[in-house]
Each structure stands twice: as structure tokens, then as C-alpha cells.
Amino acid sequence: MRSEGLQFRGADEALDAVDAIVAGAAAEARRAEQYAAAVDALRVHGRPADGSDVTVTLDHAGGLMDLAVGERVAAQGGAAVARSVLAANATARRRLPAMLGGLAREAFGADSRTTAHVAEHAARMFGSPAGRVATDEHRDAAAAGVLR
């Protein structure tokens, strides 16, 4: 396909260009459907760093899907259970950006704008495994004293 004003040498060349565009769009739609199914099936598990017998399972949006509390930690009382559940939840949430980013890379490629958007959104929503994503907007706000 020519990029200078979409000029073609004939109807066959124009039809070939349209066919290529349609095929590309269909392939992109298939990748998006596969990505959506993979995201929907995603489950992330987290356990507290202290080794407590608690496991939290989250879905792709950070929603609690399952919670397992062992007898050992349950015997320590409500406050201990609460601390362990919150720690396990935090561990699982920290894993979500990498998991979502990996699914996007598999579906759309490492250099895709879609992959970059997914990674940025997940880092903003759940925190980046290596710390917060610092964008120019965030740096400007911090320099202006907006973020402390």
C-alpha cells in the first residue's frame, strides 16, 4: 500500500490494500480477544512475608477471589489474622502489574502502545514492582510541591 495520499495503480492494488487492512484488523481483534480471555482467567496468589499460613487469591482487578487461613494463624486471634490477610493481599497486588504486563506483551508485543498502556495503568492502579512509575506529569507535580 502506498502512503502518499492512498493512490493506487488500479482496482486490484486498491483491493489488495483493503484486504491487507481488513486482515490486520482481524488479527488485532483476535489478539485482543485472546488477551481479554487471559486477563479474565488471571489469578494471582499472595502470602505474607512472615510465613503465616494465609493465602490470598486475587483476580485481574485486585478483587478477592479466595482466602485461605490456616489453623495456626487463626489460633492467634483476629488481629493476627487481619495482619496476615492484609500482608498477603499486598503481596498479591504487587505481583499484578508484572502479570498483566506479561499478558499484554504476549498478546500485543513488547513494543506495542497497547502493552505500554496496560503496564502504565497497572502500575498506577496496583503500584509498580520497582516502585511507582514516574511520568513527566508526576515529576512536574512533585517539583511544584503538589505531591509530598
Beta bridge partners of 64: 58
Residue 34 is given by DSSP the state H
DSSP, residue by residue, 52-75: -SEEEEE-TTS-EEEEEE-HHHHT
Cβ–Cβ under 8 Å, residues 64 and 89: yes
Cβ–Cβ under 8 Å, residues 73 and 52: yes
**98 CB-contact burial (10 Å; exposed 0-12 / middle 13-18 / buried 19+):** middle
For residues 45-68, give the mean pLDDT: 97
For residues 75-88, give the mean pLDDT: 96
- Cα angle for residues 30, 34, 36 (degrees, 5° grid): 115
What is the value of pTM for the model shown? 0.72
Please check the confidence at residue 71 and state whether its pLDDT lies above 70.
yes
pLDDT at 101: 94
